[in-house]
Structure 1
Amino acid sequence: MNTVIRKIGNSEGVILPKDLLQSLNLKAGDSVVVSQDKDGIVLRKAGDKFEEQMAAAREIMDRYKVALQKLAE
């Protein structure tokens, strides 16, 4: 599935097709967590705080992987 980044007011965003939103049980107004991994962008429905905290921890661990490896030695 391809989509385009569009100008929305003073921001930019991606329009997600209705079929995709329905299959993921998402609707307008739902909160999502956006993170980045080695393959690209990950978009998840915001659930409990634990999942959000784990996503943030993974992002930090990926960003500082080398430093964390050196500290572990």
Structure 2
Amino acid sequence: MNKTLKITRIGNSAGVILPKEVLARLRADVGDALFVSEAPDGIRLSACDGDFAAQMEAAETIMREDRDILRALAQ
């Protein structure tokens, strides 16, 4: 699916309107959260999984706090 979306002004911000076909592919609906991530070929947009987001936050905390231990384990 290739779609061109136009950026529109929303107050002091900017946004895009997602067509219903795109929402269906994302399995998302009005009010749902979307996750934006960087990919080697650009930006990736996906439906936000609350459990996954919490797990990633926990992993980032562990990686920050135990950086030396993780570096030693990697060798």
Do both proteins adopt the same fold according to a TM-score greater than 0.5, normalized to the shorter chain? yes
Cα offset, 1:48, TM superposition:
3.6
Bigger RCO (CA 8 Å, 6+ sep): 1
Secondary structure in 1 matching 2:46: strand
1:4 aligned to 3, 6, 28, which one? 6
Cα deviation 1:20-51 (Å, max 9, x = unaligned): 1123221110011111122111111111443x
Instruction: Indicate the structure (1 or 2) with the bigger Cα radius of gyration.
Output: 2
Match of 2:32 in 1: 30
Number of paired residues?
Answer: 56
Secondary structure in 2 matching 1:28: coil
Match of 1:18 in 2: 20
RMSD between aligned residues:
2.3
For residues 19-58 of structure 1, the aligned pairs below 5 Å read 19-50=21-52, 52=53, 53=56
TM-score (norm 2): 0.59
> Residue type of the partner of 1:16?
L
- Please give the alpha-carbon distance, in whole angstroms, between the structure 2 residues aligned to 1:40 and 1:6: 21
Q: Which runs of 5+ in 1 are unaligned?
A: 58-71
TM-score (norm 1): 0.60
